[in-house]
Amino acid sequence: MNGAGWGPPASDLAITAAVAAGVLLATFAIAVRRDLHRIVDIAWGIAFSAVAAVTYLLSAGEGNDARRLLVAVATIVWGLRLSAHIARRSRGHGEDPRYAELLGKGHGNRTWNALRTVYLLQAALVWLISLPVQTASYSTEPLGWLDFAGLAVWATGLGFEAVGDHQLARFKSDPANQGRIMDRGLWAWTRHPNYFGDSLVWWGLFLLACTSWQAALISVVSPVVMTLLLTVGSGKRLLERHMADRPGYAEYAARTSGFLPLPPRWRPADSKPRR
């Protein structure tokens, strides 16, 4: 890419790669000291926000100012909200079973395995998935209808994710729900409203980057990779494997869509929301 009005130059791409790696390596150092690798989930949103902020600064004078600001703010709002939510949710908890399982499979030094298979991999993914943000920031095209469509998709995704997280947090805070499966609100329509919303956020940011066929071709890898990560990668697949043995989960999975929001196939009387 040469920065000819639709994409960042190689030097700026190298800087954003270093920023993503820097955030994840700093997190790795903290995690090793605390022997707690689940904090990498907090760093995920922070790393995206850092890449977006640095891209905004690097693209000054190169791209359309309105689009630069829009993609930067949209990414930072999403990233910091996600990090804050995960930080609150994980406070006082031990290691995440997903990371315990993942790192337990490796051979050799556990710390090296964590650096290689979690932190460096996530740094690369942050940079790759951020391509729409980086590409859109260098576009010289004025805002158009596709940008507003992208903003609407982004806002829908952010709302879906935030509402789903809030509903689950309220459900878990009620002692009467101890041991029960959350099947209310958005969770009655999809088993993973937060993951679905996350996916929409990046499809929305992708639309903001579609200012030329070159930019669209480069940027489409982002929402595709993010959606695959959430559905068949480390998101939905590992979480559902962990949840599979919980009482009532099989019945919940049988009546509730796995990703896309759809009307529940049936709803037992004892799962109606309480007043």
| Band of residue 69 on the pLDDT scale cut at 50, 70, 90 | very high
How many domains are contained in the chain?
Answer: 1
Domain range for 70 is 10-262
Assigned domain for 3 exists: no
pLDDT at 269: 47
Q: Is 5 contained in some domain?
A: no
What is d(CA 190, CA 59) in angstroms, rounded to the nearest whole number? Answer: 39
Please state whether 247 falls in left (phi above 0), alpha (psi between -120 and 50) or beta: beta
Residue 62 lies in a domain: yes
Residue 229 included in any domain: yes
State the average pLDDT over residues 156-174: 95
* 167's tokens: 């509903």
Is 130 a member of any domain? yes
**Model pLDDT for residues 93-120, shown as the tens digit of each residue:** 777 667 766 666 656 677 888 888 889 9
Average pLDDT, the chain: 89
195 within a domain of the structure (yes/no):
yes
CA-CA distance, 154 to 156, in Å (whole number)?
5
Residue 1 in domain: no
Average pLDDT over residues 45-56: 98
> Would residue 4 count as lying in a domain?
no
